[in-house]
Structure 1
Amino acid sequence: MENQILEILKEINGKLDKHSEQLDAHGEILKSHTVLLNEHSGILKSHTELLNEHSGILKAHSKTLQEHGDILNSHTEKFTEHGDILNSHTEKFTEQGDILNSHTEKFKEQGDILNSHTETFKEHGQILSSLRTGQESLKAEIDGMRIENAKEFGQIKEQLSNVEASIDILKDETWDNKKNIYRIKNTMGLS
């Protein structure tokens, strides 16, 4: 009978050794998953910082665009004022033939100013066009980064799910081991 008990104990020890090895293997897998999760968290953090930087740049570009719009509105108001002045001068031109030459000179000066404003408007148009192109390019980059971040987040989420499943299996196996040890102790009369 003692031999049988010893044989049973040897079998139990062998099973316990196997379970310990499995438990160690699962522990190593869990450690590697933790390292991988930490790496992915770092990558996600750096992408978030880059996205924040790009948002700041985009806000600065938007502010500059708004300032240029205000400048354009100011020039439009001046253009309207000059138009009103031209109408007034035209009326005076028909009424006052004596000051025809002075009005003609003023008209030419205002024409030069209008040409100058036209050139300025063209330059502002080119600047606005460049800003829009830059903004679209930044938006495309940000959209690409969002897609890439979403993919990486999905992968991380999937890996976390796998880790959680492994932990659940490990808990079940540990519980089974504890129950077996308790049974063996009861059988041997150790408790």
Structure 2
Amino acid sequence: MQQTEKLTKKKKATMVNIITVYKLLLHGLMKLVGMTQKTIDIEPGTILNIWVPKKATEKHAVVFLHAFGFDGILTWQFQVLALAKTYAVYVPDFLFFGGSITDRSERTASFQAECMVKGLRKLGVKRCTLVGVSYGGMVGFKMAEMYPDLVESLVATCSVMFTESVSNAALERIGFDSWVDYLLPKTADALKVKLDIACYKLPTLPAFVFKHILE
């Protein structure tokens, strides 16, 4: 019995994180469809991680902006696969997500917009279409407002602007005391609840998947 328990504990301790493995495979697939990953120095202490076309192209630029949760390429993988041959596709990670980092204390959508635009301009993007979901749409609105010379058009989904009363009513409806508790789950169970609310129909997944996502 003790031997069985030891083997079980050892198996759990050495289990490979499937999200890490999946991302490695996904990155390889992205390269096969003509994408490559780059890091851009926006300013001292601020680095933007972004997927871009491998080769220079005159195709219309489409920039995908992710939600508050997964990084850019995990969020938009299927859209990239569908559109990479037709458009010049750019998929950044927002600061504090994925591989994008900063030592600045700013956390506003305006700061995100500023850094996204600086990165795109360093890549030579002059005009583009933005596609944003949730938080990505909110940053997209700021990019369009602040840099109309860059943003030709914007597609946004699930990007609502809350008043305080609407926000409070929404929190009460989903059973959370604050948006921090909802957006930054600390346990696998809390993450499952978040995804259940965020998705129209969350597929049935083993419990360890949510643990691996948190890790």
Question: TM-score band (shorter)?
Answer: under 0.3
- Of structures 1 and 2, the one scoring higher in RCO (CA 8 A, sep 6+) is 1
Higher normalized strand content (fraction of residues): 2
| Structure with greater helix share of residues | 1
Larger radius of gyration: 1
Q: TM-score, normalised by structure 1?
A: 0.23
Length-normalised TM-score, structure 2: 0.21
